[in-house]
Amino acid sequence: MLPHIMAFAEGDSSGVTRMAAKGQHLAGVSVLGIDDPWIWGVYLLCIFSALLCIIYGAFNWNRGGEQEVADIKEEAAWEAKEEEMQEKELGL
């Protein structure tokens, strides 16, 4: 199916006509048993979105861990205060 779509897109018709025709053509394509391009498109987009997260996370796996002493102290103070709030105000 894909080469067919590509061959169509590479044709020499004008931009607007080509877009409209391509949309019409896509509407006739069935991917994974789904005919509507908005649905099979989103089905694949879900997987691509998760892939984006995987790639971002893998590339930055060890980044952002380097902290300065001041940062650690500031965070420790925040956590201590948060702990106190949890205990005193929420009774946890």
Partner 1 sequence: MNLLLLNVIILVYLLATLYLGYRGWKSTKDSEGYLVAGRETHPYIMAMSYGATFISTSAIVGFGGTAGLFGMGLLWLTVLNIFVGIFIAFVVFGKRTRKIGHNLNAMTFPELLGKRFDSKFIQYFSGLVIFFGMPLYASVVLIGAARFMETTLAIDFDVALLIYSVIIAGYVIWGGLRGVMYTDAMQGTIMFVGMAFLLVVTYAHLGGITMAHQALTDMAHLVPAKLAAQGHTGWTSMPTFGSTWWWTLISTVVMGVGIGVLAMPQLVVRFMTVKSNKELNRGVLIGGIFILMMTGVAFAVGALSNVFFYQTQGNISINIAKGNADSIIPIYINAATPEWFVYLFMLTLLAAAMSTSSSQFHSQGSAIGRDIYETFTRKKGGESILVTRIGILVAVVIAVALGYILPENIIARGTAIFFGLCAAAFLPMYACALYWRGATRMGAIAGLITGTLLTVLWYLFIHKAEAVPLGICKMLLGREILITQMPWPVVDPIVVALPISFLVTVVVSMMTKKMNEKTLAECFKGIK
**Is 63 an interacting residue with respect to partner 1 (CB under 8 A)?**
yes
DSSP state of 13: S
Q: Which neighbouring-strand residues pair with 40?
A: none
**Is 75 an interacting residue with respect to partner 1 (CB under 8 A)?**
yes
Contacts of 92 (CB under 8 A, 6+ apart): 86
**Is 23 an interacting residue with respect to partner 1 (CB under 8 A)?**
no
- Closest distance of CB 44 from partner 1, Å: 10
User: With respect to partner 1, which residue has the nearer C-beta, 19 or 38?
Assistant: 38
Closest residue by Cα to residue 29 from 54, 2, 60, 8: 2
**Is 2 an interacting residue with respect to partner 1 (CB under 8 A)?**
no
**Is 9 an interacting residue with respect to partner 1 (CB under 8 A)?**
no
Would you say 92 and 86 are in contact if contact means Cβ atoms under 8 Å apart? yes
**Residue numbers at the binding site for partner 1 (CB under 8 A):** 30, 32-36, 38-39, 42-43, 45-47, 49-54, 56-58, 60-65, 67, 71-72, 74-82, 85-86, 88-92
